[in-house]
């Protein structure tokens, strides 16, 4: 199969449901391939799946994130372009530094009891809902609310507004998908950005007058005292992007992980009480079923990468979910092995833009999964999983289970 056929297959309905056979086919062409017959307006000239090559590009600060043309005219893109996730040095370091300071080990430690409380409350509710042998949607009742409630508490967002907020996150994520650049999706993403910006302005004004212990109060205080080099509008862009980045990714860590784990009953039975195993399971699930499938970086100059020429300012599509199944780095890449040796997966990226919240999600998984299985040792999936159909953020949106009593 040539690369053109592989990419068509990947973008097809079947590829969206299960892209892994197409990634395996790409590996057979080597770590990177030129994209043949690319559309005239496309700046993406190559696609990479080799672990070492993807790792090398992501670590290199000269490979940069390219702003889409006309970004100044769209609220959503203006929001992105004034946030750490989308900017390059020196703005990137300036913005990231402000937030990195708030993700301290002390704050993370303080999050542990919050996670335990949130998880246990949700497990109680799941037990009630499933008590009569009825089905429970694991995503709606656990995978989604765990990170949402934990982050809401971390940032200081009122729980009553989460459903409203979630809708805006979904509009933005749908626009971010490879097939998402339609006028309708752009309009909804712009609306989401506008509404979220107005909402954060109000919240900031409120916290300014009634400060609490939360992240937003702390950031507003730092801003007002001239302690940090950030404007209020940049603060808002970063909060939008931060919360967006934390939402669906962690949901998919849980929802993609559950069927994988249930297929390994011995591991599941050993989970409660074995923290290193729990962490191994979380990391292996993220490798095997990565929530984020690809990133992109643009070349700083004309170059040759893995034998493939890439012209200056052209982008390489970096399929991190494919790199995580590189047979050269992960022998028998399809096999789930929570005790696997080898390099870290690229599920959280690597290099300057390495995920700022990885420790939060890993902690949620390490605490959440053993408690889930301790509570429901006979948990079973009762219907086929329903995948998002997005190739950018790939995961299970609905997963019906029986709690087993």
Cβ distance to ligand HEM smaller for residue 81 or 403: 81
CB atoms within 10 A of CB 202: 9
Instruction: Compute the distance between CA of residue 291 and CA of residue 122 in angstroms, rounded to an integer.
Output: 22
Residues that bind ligand HEM (CB under 6 A): 84-85, 96, 242, 245-246, 249-250, 253, 286, 291-292, 295, 347-349, 353, 355-357, 360-361
C-alpha distances (whole Å) from 368 to each of 3, 22, 113, 250, 396 are 40, 32, 12, 12, 18
Cβ distance to ligand HEM smaller for residue 14 or 108: 108
Residue 98's nearest CA partner among 197, 214, 223 is 223
**Closest separation in Å from C-beta 61 to ligand HEM:** 11
Residue nearest to ligand HEM (CB): 357
**Closest separation in Å from C-beta 258 to ligand HEM:** 14
**Closest separation in Å from C-beta 8 to ligand HEM:** 25
Q: What angle do CA 162, 74, 91 make, to 5 degrees?
A: 85
Cβ distance to ligand HEM smaller for residue 256 or 403: 256
**Closest separation in Å from C-beta 95 to ligand HEM:** 8
Residue 132's region, left for phi above 0, alpha for psi from -120 to 50, else beta, is alpha
Cβ distance to ligand HEM smaller for residue 246 or 267: 246
Cβ distance to ligand HEM smaller for residue 253 or 385: 253
Cβ distance to ligand HEM smaller for residue 25 or 355: 355
Instruction: Compute the distance between CA of residue 231 and CA of residue 209 in angstroms, rounded to an integer.
Output: 18
Long-range Cβ contacts of 4-10 (<8 Å, 24+ apart):
4/36, 4/37, 7/35, 7/47, 10/391
Beta-carbon contacts of residue 172 (< 8 Å; ≥ 6 apart): 76, 189, 192, 193, 244
Question: Buried (b) or exposed (e) across 115-134, using 16+ Cβ within 10 A?
Answer: beebbeebbeebeeebeeee
Cβ distance to ligand HEM smaller for residue 25 or 157: 157
């Amino acid at each position: 199969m040539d690369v053109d056929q592989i990419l068509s297959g990947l973008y097809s309905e079947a590829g969206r449901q299960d892209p892994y056979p197409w990634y395996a086919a790409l590996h057979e062409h080597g770590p990177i391939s030129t994209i043949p017959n690319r559309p005239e307006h496309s700046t993406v000239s190559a696609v990479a799946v080799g672990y070492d090559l993807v790792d090398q590009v992501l670590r290199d600060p000269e490979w940069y994130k390219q702003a889409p043309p006309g970004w100044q005219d769209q609220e959503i893109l203006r929001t992105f372009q004034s946030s750490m996730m989308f900017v390059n040095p020196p703005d990137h370091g300036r913005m990231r530094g402000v937030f990195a300071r708030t993700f301290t080990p002390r704050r993370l430690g303080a999050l542990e009891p919050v996670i335990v409380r949130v998880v246990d409350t949700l497990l109680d509710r799941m037990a009630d809902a499933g008590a009569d042998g009825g089905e429970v949607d694991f995503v709606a009742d656990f995978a989604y609310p765990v990170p949402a409630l934990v982050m809401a508490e971390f940032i200081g967002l009122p729980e009553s507004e989460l459903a409203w907020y979630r809708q805006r996150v979904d509009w933005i994520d749908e626009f971010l998908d490879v097939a998402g650049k339609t006028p309708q999706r752009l309009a909804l993403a712009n609306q989401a950005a506008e509404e979220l910006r107005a909402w954060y302005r109000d919240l900031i004004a409120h916290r300014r007058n009634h400060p609490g212990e939360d992240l937003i109060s702390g950031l507003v205080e730092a801003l007002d005292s001239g302690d940090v080099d950030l404007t209020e509008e940049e603060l808002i862009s970063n909060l939008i992007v931060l919360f967006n980045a934390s939402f669906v990714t962690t949901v998919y860590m849980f929802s993609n992980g559950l069927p994988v784990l249930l297929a390994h009953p011995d591991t599941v039975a050993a989970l409660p009480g074995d923290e290193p195993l729990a962490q191994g399971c979380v990391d292996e699930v993220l490798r095997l079923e990565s929530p984020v499938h690809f990133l992109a970086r643009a070349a700083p100059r004309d170059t040759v990468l893995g034998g493939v020429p890439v012209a200056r300012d052209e982008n390489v599509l970096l399929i991190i979910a494919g790199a995580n199944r590189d047979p050269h780095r992960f022998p028998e890449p399809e096999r789930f092995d929570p005790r696997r040796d080898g390099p870290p997966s690229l599920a959280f990226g690597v290099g300057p833009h390495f995920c700022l919240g990885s420790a939060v999600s890993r902690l949620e998984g390490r605490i959440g999964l053993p408690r889930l299985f301790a509570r429901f040792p006979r948990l079973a999936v009762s219907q086929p999983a329903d995948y998002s159909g997005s190739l950018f953020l790939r995961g299970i949106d609905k997963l019906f289970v029986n709690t087993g009593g």
